[in-house]
């Protein structure tokens, strides 16, 4: 039996990660979520959702390394996404 509210949450998160508004972030964030979502805990899903609240332009700069992640935005999940994006660039 599946945990239906959690399944709905994961589907919404997957959609949101893949429809960011910029193709670059769709690939970087959507790809990360697609590869890792199945094994993420609820706390990690919370962290991904928090990362996705940042503006697309900032996320693109941070994930590609064009700009460093500022202290106020830094989190283990954002660094994990950046590290994964760096291996794809």
Distances (CA, A) of 48 to 1, 10, 44: 25, 11, 6
**4-86 carries CATH number 2.60.120.260:** no
> Given CA atoms 62, 84, 14, 50 in this order, what sign does their dihedral have?
negative
pLDDT of residue 89: 52
pLDDT of residue 1: 44
* Binned average pLDDT, 10 residues per bin, the chain of 89 residues: 77 95 92 95 96 95 95 97 81
* Dist CA 11 CA 22 (whole Å): 20
* Dist CA 41 CA 56 (whole Å): 24
Question: Helices H, strands E: what count in the chain?
Answer: 5, 0
Q: What is the pTM of this model?
A: 0.86
């Amino acid at each position: 039996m599946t945990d239906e509210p959690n399944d709905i949450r994961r589907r919404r998160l997957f959609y949101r990660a893949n429809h960011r508004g910029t193709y670059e972030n769709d690939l970087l964030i959507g790809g990360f979520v697609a590869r890792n979502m199945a094994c993420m805990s609820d706390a990690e899903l919370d962290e991904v959702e928090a990362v996705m609240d940042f503006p697309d332009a900032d996320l693109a700069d941070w994930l590609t390394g064009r700009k460093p992640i500022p202290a106020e935005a830094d989190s283990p999940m954002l660094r994990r996404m950046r590290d994964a994006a760096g291996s794809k660039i």
